[in-house]
Structures are given as structure tokens and as C-alpha cells.
């Protein structure tokens, strides 16, 4: 009975001593290879890859400096930005006051209403233009109040006048939009990078085409007005000839009765 406990104590001591010896051995076996791998990776990143990245950064810096000196001179770009900012600061406020200068001068209430509409620069108000126009200038005479030729010419003149007023309202509205685009282009030109200059130039050309289209529409409206004036003069001459012929017919009838 005494031999078994003694053997148990000896076995426990052997196991404990084995663990104490095995632990540092396991640590040496398990950790040293990982340390070696990490050190190799760190050396590769900081040495080979890091050196290549440093070379690439140096080349990129050199290319950027060459671009700023030859292709896109930074001093000239800043000079142009300052020039645009100076021009905008010098004339934009004055031009805005010119474009918003009040030109209304009607005195009577009906005339003021009409003037307020065709100076509104809002084409949506053309629907109420006709009624306000008739209040200011009167309607076409009734059939019993004037000859047909006079009524037709008056109707046509009213139509052309209202068309011209509506066209001017649309042109003012288009001009307001173009001025907004022009201000935006100027603002961007004062800070734009060299690579976006072509985009601004394309936007400016598109706005220019819009402006030319509006000018052509106004020119067509002016041509219609001139044609209407010639037609009215010619119509009055035709009416005078008809009246002269009618007077001759009446005189011949009176003479024939005598």
C-alpha cells in the first residue's frame, strides 16, 4: 500500500517537469517561424516595394512640375483667374443695374396693367395679354360700325401688335436665362482647372447658339411687323381705289337721272 502513493508522486513530478520543459520548446517552434515571416514581409514592403513607390512618387512629382512649367503654367493660370475676377468685380454689378433698370412709364391704370405684363419677362402671362390689350386699345369695331376692309385691317394690326408683345416677353425671359448661364460660366472661369477649360468653352458656345436663335426669332418678328405695315399701306390704297370707283359710279348714276 505504501508503494502505490510513492509511485504516484514520482509520476506527477515527471509530468510536471515535462510540461516545464515542453512549454518553451513549443513556444520556440511555434513563434519563431511567424516572426521570421513577418520580418520578411516587413523587409519586402519597406525595402523593395517602398523603394519602388518612392521612385514612382519622384517621377510623378517631376512630371507634375514639368506640366506646371510647360503645358499648364501655374503662374499664367493664376494670372488669368485674377483677370477674370477683376473683370467680374468691375462690371457685373453695373451691368446688372442696367438690365434691371425700370423703364415702365404708363400713367393710366389700364395702360399700367398692360405694361406690367409685357415687361414681366414671363411668357406664362401671355394668356392674359389679349384681354388687357383690348381694355387699353379697344376691340375691333362691329360690322355695323365700320366697313369690312377697315375691320380686317384693325384686326390684323391688333394681332400683330399682340404677337410682337408676346415675342418680346419670351425674348426677355430667354435673355434672363442666358445672363444666369453667363454669370455661372464667369464664376467657373475664375477658378477652373486647365483640364476643364474645354468644357466651359463648349458651354459658352451652346449659350451663344441659344442667343443667336433668340435674335433670329426677334428678327423674324421685326420682318413680320414691316411686312404688316406694307400690307396696311397697300390695303389703304386698294380701299381708296374702291371708294373712288364707287364715287364715280354714284356720280354717273346721278348724272344719268338728270
Per the structure, the complete domain to which residue 22 belongs is given by 1-71
For residues 216 and 236, give the distance between their C-alpha atoms in angstroms, rounded to a whole number: 30
Q: Are residues 147 and 42 in the same domain?
A: no
pLDDT at residue 131 in the model: 92
C-alpha cell at 32: 519563431
Q: Are residues 53 and 94 in the same domain?
A: no
Which of 71, 91, 112 is a domain's end point? 71
C-alpha cell at 26: 513549443
Domain count, the chain: 2
**Predicted TM-score of the model (pTM):** 0.62
Q: Are residues 38 and 92 in the same domain?
A: no
For residues 2 and 164, give the distance between their C-alpha atoms in angstroms, rounded to a whole number: 130
Q: Are residues 47 and 159 in the same domain?
A: no
Of the pLDDT bands very low, low, confident and very high (cuts 50, 70, 90), residue 26 is very low
* Residue appearing with cell numbers 520543459: 21
DSSP letters spanning the chain: --HHHHHHHHHHHHHHHHHHHHHHHHHHHHHHHHHHHHHHHHHHIIIIIHHHHHHHHHHHHHHHHHIIIIIS-HHHHHHHHHHHHHHHHHHHHHHHHHHT-------SHHHHHHHHHHTS--GGGGGGHHHHHHHHH-PPPPTTTS-HHHHHHHHHHHHHHHHHHHHHHHHHHHHHHHHHHHHHHHHHHTT--GGGHHHHHHHHHHHHHHHHHHHHHHHHHHHHHHHHHHHHHHHHHHHHHHHHHHHHHHHHHHHHH-
pLDDT at residue 14 in the model: 44
pLDDT in tens, 46-59: 555 656 677 777 88
For residues 180 and 172, give the distance between their C-alpha atoms in angstroms, rounded to a whole number: 13
Q: Are residues 107 and 35 in the same domain?
A: no
Q: Are residues 175 and 96 in the same domain?
A: yes
Q: Are residues 109 and 130 in the same domain?
A: yes
C-alpha cell at 211: 442667343
Least confident of 18-22, 109-113, 149-153: 18-22
Query: Is 25's pLDDT higher than 50?
Result: no
Query: Is 150's pLDDT higher than 70?
Result: yes
* End-to-end CA gap in the chain: 181
Query: Is 70's pLDDT higher than 90?
Result: no
Least confident of 112-126, 138-152, 243-257: 243-257
Of the pLDDT bands very low, low, confident and very high (cuts 50, 70, 90), residue 119 is very high
pLDDT at residue 84 in the model: 80
pLDDT at residue 51 in the model: 62
Mean per-residue pLDDT, 14-42: 50
Query: Is 134's pLDDT higher than 60?
Result: yes
Mean per-residue pLDDT, 230-254: 86
Query: Is 38's pLDDT higher than 70?
Result: no
Higher pLDDT, 63 or 143: 143
Query: Using an 8 Å Cβ cutoff, are 200 and 188 in contact?
Result: yes
Mean of per-residue pLDDT scores for the chain: 78
Higher pLDDT, 170 or 77: 170
Query: Using an 8 Å Cβ cutoff, are 133 and 161 in contact?
Result: yes
Of the pLDDT bands very low, low, confident and very high (cuts 50, 70, 90), residue 253 is confident
Q: Are residues 134 and 8 in the same domain?
A: no
Which of 9, 40, 71 is a domain's end point? 71
Query: Is 64's pLDDT higher than 60?
Result: yes
Which of 71, 99, 127 is a domain's end point? 71
Q: Are residues 49 and 79 in the same domain?
A: no
Percent of the chain beyond pLDDT 90?
Answer: 16
Q: Are residues 116 and 193 in the same domain?
A: yes
Amino acid at each position: 500500500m505504501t508503494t502505490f502513493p510513492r509511485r504516484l508522486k514520482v509520476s506527477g513530478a515527471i509530468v510536471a517537469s515535462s510540461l516545464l520543459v515542453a512549454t518553451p520548446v513549443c513556444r520556440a517552434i511555434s513563434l519563431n517561424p511567424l516572426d521570421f515571416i513577418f520580418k520578411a514581409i516587413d523587409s519586402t514592403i519597406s525595402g523593395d516595394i517602398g523603394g519602388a513607390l518612392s521612385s514612382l512618387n519622384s517621377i510623378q512629382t517631376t512630371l507634375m512640375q514639368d506640366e506646371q512649367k510647360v503645358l499648364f503654367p501655374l503662374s499664367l493660370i493664376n494670372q488669368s483667374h485674377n483677370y477674370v475676377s477683376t473683370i467680374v468685380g468691375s462690371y457685373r454689378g453695373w451691368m446688372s443695374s442696367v438690365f434691371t433698370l425700370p423703364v415702365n412709364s404708363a400713367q393710366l391704370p389700364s395702360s399700367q396693367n398692360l405694361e406690367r405684363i409685357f415687361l414681366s419677362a414671363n411668357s406664362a402671362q401671355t394668356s392674359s395679354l389679349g384681354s388687357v390689350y383690348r381694355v387699353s386699345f379697344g376691340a375691333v369695331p362691329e360690322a355695323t360700325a365700320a366697313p369690312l376692309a377697315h375691320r380686317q385691317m384693325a384686326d390684323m394690326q391688333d394681332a400683330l401688335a399682340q404677337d410682337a408683345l408676346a415675342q418680346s416677353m419670351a425674348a426677355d425671359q430667354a435673355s434672363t436665362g442666358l445672363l444666369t448661364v453667363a454669370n455661372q460660366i464667369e464664376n467657373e472661369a475664375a477658378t477652373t482647372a486647365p483640364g476643364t477649360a474645354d468644357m466651359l468653352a463648349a458651354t459658352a458656345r451652346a449659350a451663344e447658339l441659344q442667343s443667336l436663335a433668340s435674335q433670329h426669332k426677334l428678327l423674324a418678328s421685326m420682318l413680320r411687323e414691316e411686312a404688316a405695315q406694307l400690307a396696311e399701306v397697300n390695303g389703304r390704297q386698294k380701299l381708296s381705289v374702291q371708294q373712288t370707283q364707287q364715287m364715280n359710279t354714284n356720280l354717273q348714276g346721278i348724272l344719268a337721272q338728270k
